[in-house]
Structure 1
Amino acid sequence: MKSKINWKYFNILILLLIIYMVYVLSPLWGNLANKIIWAFLPIMLAFVVAFVFNPIVTWLEKNAKIPRVIAILLIYFSIIALVLFIVFVLVKPYIDDLGNLSVGVVNLLDQIGRLFNIDTTSIQEQSVTVVESMYASIAAFFTATGGGAEQVFNIVLSGIVVVIVGIIFLINFENIIQKTKEYLAIRETDQMYRYVSTLYHDLTNYLVAEIIIAVIQFIEYAGLFLLIGIFNRAYMNYALVLGVCVAVFSLIPYFGGYLSSFFMILIALSLPHALYTAIPLGLFIMIFPNLDAYVINPHIYKKQLRLNPIFSISAMLLGQAFFGVIGVVVAIPFILILTITYNFYKVQIREKFKQFKESL
């Protein structure tokens, strides 16, 4: 009697072998994937910028009767002017003062040590080393010295690519949308058409909402320091720098508010007469982050993004592990795409899993 191959165990063995090979080759494909993403990042950013500003360009074209090309050039001129203003007016003049953040770290840890009666000397030394290392990297970038010169060159080159490719995308964006609609309506199912439409709508709302939230939080934190600056001039000098940093932190879901508050506390502790500002800063931290999280942000989103928090946080941690800060920022849009895809195709996905299980 001939022996027969047990295909069930054979398939399991093949699956385990594939998983093992993926794990063994992870340093190779991980580095390769990282390089590919960084290589195509300017093009992806150009598309995202075009994606966000296309409604504005379309409105200027249809309602203000501005030619599309002129409207696009006005948009990009405004973006470039804003970036240059942030870099050379809001950030660069205060780079040297950021070195004082180490003073804020020491003061914070010292007060924690006194409160709990513990010795924080070693933690202070390690924290100061980290802060000074970060400050050295930032200073090297903005002064284009050492390794910062190469970073400046790469960013300027990437910025040029983003602008040029973004203008090309925006010029043809409406045509791209129309061609996609025609293709899906004629050659694909109604489900695919609704899926792409929902994806486009939800991603647009998400990106626009993030921009609005960043602007609101800039106004909140910068406004607080400007208000305190009426009584303590040193705070007024840091108001715009804090606002810009908070606007960037707001792009990090869940943890952005904590980073903003922590950064604000560090700046405050590094400035003179920090004790007198403890009450307004404390009230601000108790009120505004909660107001942003539970009132302003849901109102801006118009409807909540029904994402599992544990799943989203896990995706952010994985994104950070593989792709750094960029991975953290794109984690939530990526999870949003996966969620929408699963909701539209869950029947087909479950059927495929069922077929796979039966094949084992």
Structure 2
Amino acid sequence: MKDKKFFINIIFTVVISYVLIKFIDNYKYFFDVFSLLLSLLTPFVIAFILAYIFNPIVHFLEYNLKFKRIFALLFTYSILLVLIVSFVLFTAPVIVNSLIDIVNQVPIYAEKTQSFLIETVQSLQNIDPQTLKDIGDKVMGSIPKLSTLFAGYLGQIFSTTFSVGKFIVQFVLAFIICFYILLEKESFLHFCKKLIYIILGKKYGDFTIEVGGVLNTNIGKYFSGKILDSFIVGVLSATGLYFIGSQYALLFGMLIGFMNLIPYFGPVIGMAPVFIVNLFYNPTIAVFSLLYLMLVQQIEMAVIEPKIVGGQLGLSPFLTILAVTIGGGFFGIPGMILSVPIMGVIKIYSAKFIEYKYNDIK
């Protein structure tokens, strides 16, 4: 009997070793498959985000105005369609023209930057000319490299979300999935509960459903608050930039409002182009725009967010940045947004587990 068990263990070890070796030899293939699976899951991630956004509206129509679920959904989607059409007709042309203008101005920005660097180098007469030449050559030689690196880095971050064709397909699919999630949410939840109990049993099933309930509550509160918070920040930013005299105030206001959904990284990404672009037109306006946006962010963190969002689920900056980085790496911007409430729930149960184990040791 012992010999048989020993023989089975050897076979099992050999099989596992063979599988690991094959995996290492063909890791690129498996990574490609994994990337494809993540890409296929992205519409579902977006759909769940949309479901959390639309659910309060559907709930209000269904329980306060006595709409049937299907009519509440159709009404919500009709309002959304009107908003999208209005945006395309009235706002999108301004934004598109602003983007085209920025792209057309890039060579001028580069020329102005080069002239500024040359003038700066020429003004430093007390430094050895050869040293100045070496520094100038290095700076000029690094500009194309930095530009390529920066473009590649941005492309890598946003390729999951902003590939135009992929973006449209994913969002259309996400809206369809979201519709059926909200239409049959009770049946969907009931089926999931049954499946969880069948697979995990009573003890672990109860725990999993409890975690799911906490996650659902945290995500719902976080999204409803954060979206309203970001909308207010976007309106304040666009209005203030317009009166300051900033270029492309509407475009930058929308960018800042959208990026405000992403903790820590978002506001920086939103403010940087405002300052850089305005710097080429009027340095004074660039400085005032940056100071104004920093003031808006301070007001948002001190007043708006605590009142509307209720804080960042008790997460430290380290955990928030970790969550955003991992979520963005897997699912792009939707992953960045969704990762924060998920990390909040992980923190809650990790703290409970650590406290439980620590008390056992004591």
TM-score clears 0.5: yes
Contact map agreement 1:103 1:269 (CA 8 A) in 2: no
Alignment counterpart, residue 172 of structure 1, candidates 172, 181, 184: 184
Alignment counterpart, residue 98 of structure 1, candidates 75, 79, 102: 102
Q: Residue 29 of structure 1 corresponds to which residue in structure 2?
A: 30
Q: Residue 11 of structure 1 corresponds to which residue in structure 2?
A: none
Alignment counterpart, residue 298 of structure 1, candidates 301, 306, 316: 306
Kindly state the Cα deviation for residue 306 of structure 1 after the two structures are TM-superposed.
Answer: 2.1
CA distance in 1, matches of 2:146, 2:82: 36
Kindly state the Cα deviation for residue 239 of structure 1 after the two structures are TM-superposed.
Answer: 1.9
Q: Residue 140 of structure 2 corresponds to which residue in structure 1?
A: 121
* Closer, same or farther: CA 23–105 of 1 in aligned 2, 3 Å: farther
Q: Which has the larger radius of gyration?
A: 2
Q: Residue 216 of structure 2 corresponds to which residue in structure 1?
A: 200
Q: Residue 260 of structure 2 corresponds to which residue in structure 1?
A: 250
Within a 5 Å distance, the mapping from 1:67-82 to structure 2 comes to 67-82=68-83
Q: Using the TM superposition, name which of 39-48 and 252-261 deviates more.
A: 39-48
In structure 2, what residue type is equivalent to 1:163? F
* Closer, same or farther: CA 346–323 of 1 in aligned 2, 3 Å: same
CA distance in 1, matches of 2:82, 2:153: 27
CA distance in 1, matches of 2:233, 2:20: 44
In structure 2, what residue type is equivalent to 1:92? V
CA distance in 1, matches of 2:69, 2:279: 49
Kindly state the Cα deviation for residue 255 of structure 1 after the two structures are TM-superposed.
Answer: 1.3
Contact map agreement 1:43 1:165 (CA 8 A) in 2: yes
- Partner SS state of residue 184, structure 2: helix
Q: Using the TM superposition, name which of 195-204 and 95-104 deviates more.
A: 95-104
CA distance in 2, matches of 1:318, 1:169: 26
Contact map agreement 1:195 1:344 (CA 8 A) in 2: no
Q: Using the TM superposition, name which of 100-109 and 44-53 deviates more.
A: 100-109
CA distance in 2, matches of 1:245, 1:217: 10
In structure 2, what residue type is equivalent to 1:165? I
> What is the number of equivalent residue pairs in this alignment?
324
Contact map agreement 2:305 2:311 (CA 8 A) in 1: no
Q: Residue 139 of structure 1 corresponds to which residue in structure 2?
A: none
Contact map agreement 1:102 1:131 (CA 8 A) in 2: no
Contact map agreement 1:60 1:71 (CA 8 A) in 2: yes
In structure 2, what residue type is equivalent to 1:155? F
In structure 2, what residue type is equivalent to 1:300? I
Kindly state the Cα deviation for residue 288 of structure 1 after the two structures are TM-superposed.
Answer: 1.9
Alignment counterpart, residue 157 of structure 1, candidates 147, 150, 169: 169
CA distance in 1, matches of 2:79, 2:115: 45
Kindly state the Cα deviation for residue 250 of structure 1 after the two structures are TM-superposed.
Answer: 1.7
CA distance in 2, matches of 1:20, 1:240: 55
Q: Using the TM superposition, name which of 214-223 and 299-308 deviates more.
A: 299-308
* Deviation digits for residues 69-125 of structure 1 (CA, Å, limit 9, x no counterpart): 222123223334444526833432333112125655665787699599775434444
- Partner SS state of residue 307, structure 1: coil
* Deviation digits for residues 16-50 of structure 1 (CA, Å, limit 9, x no counterpart): 99999876665333322211111122133222211
Q: Residue 238 of structure 2 corresponds to which residue in structure 1?
A: 222
Aligned Cα root-mean-square deviation (Å): 4.6
* Deviation digits for residues 274-298 of structure 1 (CA, Å, limit 9, x no counterpart): 1341453243144222222333223
Kindly state the Cα deviation for residue 242 of structure 1 after the two structures are TM-superposed.
Answer: 1.0
Contact map agreement 1:242 1:264 (CA 8 A) in 2: yes
* Closer, same or farther: CA 227–24 of 1 in aligned 2, 3 Å: farther
Residue 310 (1) aligns with residue 329 (2): no
Contact map agreement 1:42 1:159 (CA 8 A) in 2: yes
- Partner SS state of residue 33, structure 1: helix
CA distance in 2, matches of 1:312, 1:110: 41
- Partner SS state of residue 66, structure 1: coil
Kindly state the Cα deviation for residue 168 of structure 1 after the two structures are TM-superposed.
Answer: 1.0
Alignment counterpart, residue 264 of structure 1, candidates 257, 265, 274: 274
* Deviation digits for residues 151-182 of structure 1 (CA, Å, limit 9, x no counterpart): 54443333332222211111112444567679
* Closer, same or farther: CA 319–135 of 1 in aligned 2, 3 Å: closer
* Closer, same or farther: CA 246–111 of 1 in aligned 2, 3 Å: farther
Within a 5 Å distance, the mapping from 1:277-288 to structure 2 comes to 277-278=285-286, 280-288=288-296
Segments of 5+ residues of structure 1 without an aligned counterpart are 6-13, 137-147, 355-360
CA distance in 2, matches of 1:281, 1:243: 11
CA distance in 2, matches of 1:32, 1:202: 32
Q: Residue 158 of structure 2 corresponds to which residue in structure 1?
A: none
